[in-house]
Chains A and B, each alone.
Chain A
């Protein structure tokens, strides 16, 4: 609550002082971000999101030690939840809880890998197009906008189906290369706006090399946006992979939450009332998505204090 009041008391000057694009020098900016990140732990939303995500990551790491042999035919078919099988069994008598635990790692990994790759593409295209300008900028903006308006899922479905795939890598690549565009546009705008600020001009005049300006001045100043984009892309990748798997496209053999839903839908989980088989994987996907969204909300509150000022002001109308 204290920082609430501080922002209100200082009014708009506080906003200006905490906007990430202000008089930062490279390494110092990173330190400042880390400090700000520490402050993020004051946000309930951030803590909530981090707690859920940590839980899933722990399950992904430690879980497989306990949940051995998730594909073993260990019980009766379609058994309702019991003490022995807390989430029941599927059509072949496999332990649903064990499958759920062992699917956690691959499901998260797809999201983080595709998210990281898409972030990389968006950073490279966004920053270079904002920095270089001219014809290159025109061309890459056109390219970005085209990728943006062409709906990705039909394309992803067809590429995955035609190319036929083994393992999750093709899925990751296809998702990454269709989802970077929106964020490249954001980063281009941000780069354009800081390109001509004094601290960048100063380092240009003093003869800094271009790569140094990019890595020491521009990137640190866009770290917040990049982090938030990364989180959104992870969510998007997890959802897209789940959708592809559910539709039976791409690699159907690796155990992910989406594949569990695919099997459940194909093997009559709905008609036989086996809710314990198809509800948990979906809830897990939604929980991870919610957790990541909350981390973003928490970061946003710290990095974009305007959201708070406005709300505060409104609660006590003059």
Chain B
């Protein structure tokens, strides 16, 4: 139980750190962000009553000293009142997040799982079998990993959408369908998700693959593998039950860092495909000086990543009993 308590405690502290960073960020903005926002809002239409106060509290720039500002900011967050957006006036920020977050979570989540599994399987085989095929795998995956996400997205978009018209140019679904639990919408969404998925999988698979290959090579020189070989166990069994099961552990512990990379990469990817996810929304908010929306999105992305990592860590406690004992 101590393992789980420690993990939950750590992520609680990390979440607090993220919330505090978020509190200090608006102080980097030159000028008075609340005034800038209010004048922008007045251009788009009449602001709802009390909006200036909401924004001031949210950006941590209300009256009083820094501690009272911080306290009011926390209270504001606890009520999920993130103000209204200029980018999509006058939609509340929380509503924009609710409509964009699922796109990113489903896309990034699915692709990360697919990429992880393919990478682990190929990495195990490459490490165990070796040979020419595996040797050729290293330079090619290294090259793929060195391609920036957005450039890979540009390449796929250019060749498969502009040149050969196989896939749609942008967006998350066709304009002719409405969002809902219908076959027309789901098939359109899947069709639009193919290129973005391909980008994430191609760009992230190399890391899993190489890491798994190296760990497999390292485990192969362990005594228990030699013992298994000496006992004449089938090679398949040695590969899966002896080498892979032990070699996969660092990949799971490295998940936290990798997820950060994938989320970061997918922001640029969503920009290229104009995918209606939270990364694209973040960039639009930034280019519109929509501070309220920017702040809220930063918080949501960070907290989602922390949440996903907490889940992985807790699962890991179940997978590897040693982690529960030693700490």
A182 to B250, CA, bound (A): 14
- Give A243 to B217 CA distance when docked, in angstroms: 34
**In angstroms, how far is the closest chain A Cβ from the Cβ of B204?**
13
Q: B interface, by DSSP: helix, strand, loop or mixed?
A: helix
B116 to chain A, nearest CB (A): 17
Say whether B158 faces chain A, with CB atoms less than 8 Å apart: yes
Q: Mark B105-145, 1 if CB is under 8 A from A, else 0.
A: 00000000000000000000001111100000011001101
Nearest residue, chain A, Cβ from B266: A153
Contact B151 A282 (CB under 8 A): yes
Q: Is B205 interfacial (CB 8 A cutoff)?
A: no
The verdict on A242 contacting chain B, using a C-beta distance below 8 Å, is yes
Cβ of A148 < 8 Å from any Cβ of B? yes
Please state if B220 and A286 are interface contacts (CB–CB under 8 Å). Answer: no
Tell me whether A159 and B28 are in contact (CB under 8 A).
yes
Q: Given that A150-B305, A161-B286 are known contacts, is A285 also in contact with B162, CB under 8 Å in the complex?
A: no
Contact with B along A281-318 (1 / 0, CB 8 A): 01001111110011001000000001101110111011
Q: Is there a chain A Cβ closer than 8 Å to B30's Cβ?
A: yes
Indicate if B282 sits at the interface (CB-CB under 8 A).
yes
Q: Which residues of A contact B13 (CB under 8 A)?
A: 142, 146
Bound complex: CA of A106 vs CA of B286, how far in Å? 25
| CB-CB under 8 A for A155 and B148, given A290-B143, A318-B229 | no
- From A32-40, A80-88, A187-195, A244-252, the one touching the partner chain is A244-252
- A103 lies within 8 A of chain B by Cβ: no
Contact indicator B21/A293 (Cβ below 8 Å): no
- Which residues from B are CB-within-8-Å of A289? 142, 145-147
Closest to B28 in A: A162
Judged by a CB distance under 8 angstroms, whether A127 is at the interface is: no
Of B48-56, B63-71, B90-98, B294-302, which binds chain A? B294-302
A164 at the interface (CB under 8 A from B): yes
Which chain B residues in 264-287 approach chain A with CB under 8 Å? 264-265, 267-268, 271-272, 282-283, 286-287
Indicate if the CB atoms of A297 and B138 lie closer than 8 Å.
Answer: yes
Cβ of A279 < 8 Å from any Cβ of B?
yes
Number of B residues near A (Cβ < 8 Å) is 64
Which of A149, A150, A152, A243 is most buried by chain B, counting CB atoms within 10 A of its CB? Answer: A149
Binds B, one of A116-124, A219-227, A270-278: A270-278
CA distance A273 to B161 in the complex (A): 11
A279: which B residues are within 8 A, CB to CB?
155
Across the two chains, which residue of chain A brings its CB closest to B302? Answer: A150
Contact between B158 and A261, CB atoms less than 8 A apart: no
- State whether A286 and B146 are in contact (beta carbons under 8 Å apart), knowing that A159-B25, A164-B30, A261-B154 are contacts in the complex: yes
* Cβ-based interface call for B256 (8 A): yes
Q: Do the beta carbons of A149 and B146 come within 8 Å of each other?
A: no
B287 closest partner in A (C-beta) = A248
Interface residue from A149, A152, A153, A158 paired with B256 (Cβ < 8 Å): A149
Residue of A154, A163, A273 touching B267 (CB-CB under 8 A): A154
Q: Are A293 and B145 in contact (CB under 8 A)?
A: yes
Neighbouring A residues of B229 by C-beta, 8 Å: 317-318
Does any Cβ of A come within 8 Å of B211's Cβ?
no
Residues 144-175 of B contacting A (Cβ, < 8 Å): 145-151, 154-155, 157-158, 162-163
Cβ of B197 < 8 Å from any Cβ of A? no
Interface flag for B29 (CB, 8 Å): yes
Question: Can you list 26 contacts pairing A with B, beta carbon distance less than 8 Å?
Answer: A12-B221, A146-B13, A149-B14, A150-B14, A153-B265, A153-B268, A154-B264, A157-B267, A157-B282, A243-B264, A246-B148, A246-B150, A247-B268, A247-B283, A249-B286, A279-B155, A282-B154, A285-B148, A285-B151, A286-B147, A286-B148, A289-B145, A290-B142, A293-B145, A297-B138, A317-B235
Which residues of B are interface residues toward A (Cβ below 8 A)?
A: 10-11, 13-14, 17-18, 21, 25-26, 28-30, 127-131, 138-139, 142-143, 145-151, 154-155, 157-158, 162-163, 214, 217-218, 220-221, 229, 235, 256-257, 259-260, 263-265, 267-268, 271-272, 282-283, 286-287, 294, 297-298, 301-302, 305-306, 309
Known A-B contacts: A159-B25, A261-B154, A286-B146. Give 20 more (CB < 8 A). A12-B221, A146-B13, A148-B256, A149-B305, A151-B263, A152-B264, A154-B297, A158-B298, A162-B25, A239-B148, A243-B268, A247-B271, A270-B154, A270-B157, A270-B158, A271-B162, A285-B147, A290-B143, A307-B217, A310-B220
